[in-house]
A and B are shown apart, each in its own frame.
Chain A
Amino acid sequence: MQYVSDHPILGKGEAKELTIFFDGKPVKGYEGQTVAAILMENGVRTFRYTAKRREPRGLYCGIGQCTDCIMIIDGVPNTKACMTFAKEGMRTETQHGNGKTVDAGRENADERV
């Protein structure tokens, strides 16, 4: 939704900016944020689609317990977006079903859907 740059208790946010990629598009975030936080800040609410009914899923528990927010992150499927701290240039992709391992430049390396 948005980055809270000025907060009555937390004060001003002073973290350094960074860029990650969501389905190939660059999105802006800050150091110390998780992938889930950055994507939500940029208006992304669907992180994956379920295997059988293709239903959208997004952030649910936020602390690594429920696994509803799993995505393909830097080529690795089933990675929890809420537990993965963003790094400059990180590639995040919407996961469909059980996901697939994505090698650089070669998709469908491990199709399991």
Chain B
Amino acid sequence: MREGRTPMKEYDAIVIGGGPAGLGAAIEVAKAGGHPVLIDENARPGGQLFKQIHKFFGSREHYAGTRGFAIGEKLLQEAEDEKVEVQLNTRVWGIFPDHIVTAVSGKEAVCFRGKTIILAAGASENSLSFPGCTLPGVMMAGAAQTMMNLYRTLPGKEILMIGSGNVGLIVAYQLMQAGAHVKMLIDAAAETNGYEVHAAKIKRAGVPIRLGHTIVRAEGNGRVESAVICKVDAAFHPVPGTEEKIDVDTVCVAVGLSPRVELSALAGCRFTWAGALGGQVPVHTSGMETTVPGIYVAGDGAGTEEASTALDQGRMAGVSAAHRCGLLSDLREAEEHRKIQERLDMLRSGQFGEKRKSAEQAVWKAAGE
């Protein structure tokens, strides 16, 4: 190594993103006897799990009936037991040929080389543009959730929630649990988007759900003081004369998630459109390998689904990476993949699951499967 160059550490797998997908991946590589490093920009791994205070669905393998943060604790324990090396407060900015990953850790430049790279960067919430959308008090639903469930800070008192998907429904309920008043939940769609069990909870609590409505603008002097909503027609155009002003101090936006694909794009992965998975996603096999050999994706960054799905996709990618490193035989890889795929199929059943399943299968097809 030339003097003055950033020292480079070598690993079997560089796992980027410490949410359920990244944790699952790193754990599987370590379980196979490999040496992974798990990199996360936050002070603590776990991704968004620690703000999920509701109970998860699914099977026992998917921790059904367990609250999100408890699942996070279990995964961190498992990662610790497997001696997964964790590099926190570290933000990856570059991926170079030969699986070289560059990052900034505090004020230090750090550099890693891996036999494989597993990208598990998660998703970001979609924004919604309307007059007043930059006023303090308009925030992503996830921001409200972070404030109240991680830091016990009530982000507002009178809330308008936009979006009836699971994030909108769950965060609306959690805002009430934290002591806020959710004045109304609106969605431009004609039907609620999320699971009925979540919608029923907030209906029971007396929150009006106005479908076929959108926000016109947020108003206020330096901060949100009110919001104007209106009806939309079947083509989602505002219906004149239906404007209605509601007094709120906070507008929460929950209009879907998009895969975070900066790093997979940077790595040169080929992309395909998968609407049911949040938009442009890196093409990948059922074993989660991208079109760049040795680079894998998992979790929301491979297509937005759910935390349980992300965890198993991570495990899938971890097994693939371990196999590539020579840590697992062909037979073991196939066997592990089969078990994980069975669980994923279970998660992708039902009305919503089937759509994601066929979208995911189309992605595999694009990868040549």
Chain A interface residues (CB < 8 Å from chain B): 1-5, 7-10, 13, 30, 32-34, 36-38, 40-41, 45-47, 55-65, 68, 82-83, 85
Residues on the B chain within 8 Å of A30, using CB: 152
Tell me how far the C-beta of B116 lies from the nearest C-beta in chain A, rounded to whole angstroms: 26
Residues on the A chain within 8 Å of B358, using CB: none
Interface CB pairs A-B, < 8 A, 7:
A32-B151, A58-B137, A59-B143, A60-B138, A62-B146, A63-B146, A64-B42
Task: Evaluate contact between A4 and B179: CB separation under 8 angstroms.
Answer: yes
Bound together, the chains give a CA A64 to CA B140 distance in angstroms of 12
Bound together, the chains give a CA A47 to CA B67 distance in angstroms of 33
Sort A-B residue pairs by CB-CB distance and give the 4 closest, nearest first.
Answer: A62-B143, A58-B136, A37-B151, A45-B136
Task: Evaluate contact between B134 and A40: CB separation under 8 angstroms.
Answer: no
The one of A9, A13, A56 in contact with B136, judged by C-beta atoms closer than 8 angstroms, is A56
Residues on the B chain within 8 Å of A1, using CB: 153-157, 180, 249
Tell me how far the C-beta of B7 lies from the nearest C-beta in chain A, rounded to whole angstroms: 26
**Which residue of chain B lies nearest to A2 when distances are taken between CB atoms in the complex?**
B154
Residues on the A chain within 8 Å of B43, using CB: 85
Bound together, the chains give a CA A21 to CA B67 distance in angstroms of 35
Residues on the B chain within 8 Å of A33, using CB: 151-153
The one of A5, A8, A34, A64 in contact with B151, judged by C-beta atoms closer than 8 angstroms, is A34
The one of A34, A45, A64 in contact with B223, judged by C-beta atoms closer than 8 angstroms, is A45
**Which residue of chain B lies nearest to A3 when distances are taken between CB atoms in the complex?**
B152
The one of B136, B149, B153 in contact with A57, judged by C-beta atoms closer than 8 angstroms, is B136
Task: Evaluate contact between B139 and A62: CB separation under 8 angstroms.
Answer: yes
Tell me how far the C-beta of A67 lies from the nearest C-beta in chain B, rounded to whole angstroms: 13
Within 8 A of A (CB), among B176-190: 177-180
Instruction: State whether the Cβ of B294 lies closer than 8 Å to any Cβ in chain A.
Output: no
**Which residue of chain A lies nearest to B54 when distances are taken between CB atoms in the complex?**
A9
**Which residue of chain A lies nearest to B67 when distances are taken between CB atoms in the complex?**
A9
Task: Evaluate contact between A59 and B134: CB separation under 8 angstroms.
Answer: no
Task: Evaluate contact between B143 and A63: CB separation under 8 angstroms.
Answer: yes
Bound together, the chains give a CA A40 to CA B149 distance in angstroms of 14
Residues on the A chain within 8 Å of B53, using CB: 9-10
Bound together, the chains give a CA A37 to CA B150 distance in angstroms of 9
Bound together, the chains give a CA A9 to CA B67 distance in angstroms of 10
Task: Evaluate contact between B142 and A63: CB separation under 8 angstroms.
Answer: yes
**Which residue of chain B lies nearest to A38 when distances are taken between CB atoms in the complex?**
B153
**Which residue of chain B lies nearest to A63 when distances are taken between CB atoms in the complex?**
B146
In the complex, per-residue mask of B117-141: 1 if CB is within 8 Å of any chain A CB, else 0: 0000000110000000011111110
Task: Evaluate contact between A60 and B152: CB separation under 8 angstroms.
Answer: no
Task: Tell me whether A60 and B140 are in contact in the complex, defined as CB-CB below 8 angstroms, given that A1-B157, A9-B67 are known contacts.
Answer: yes
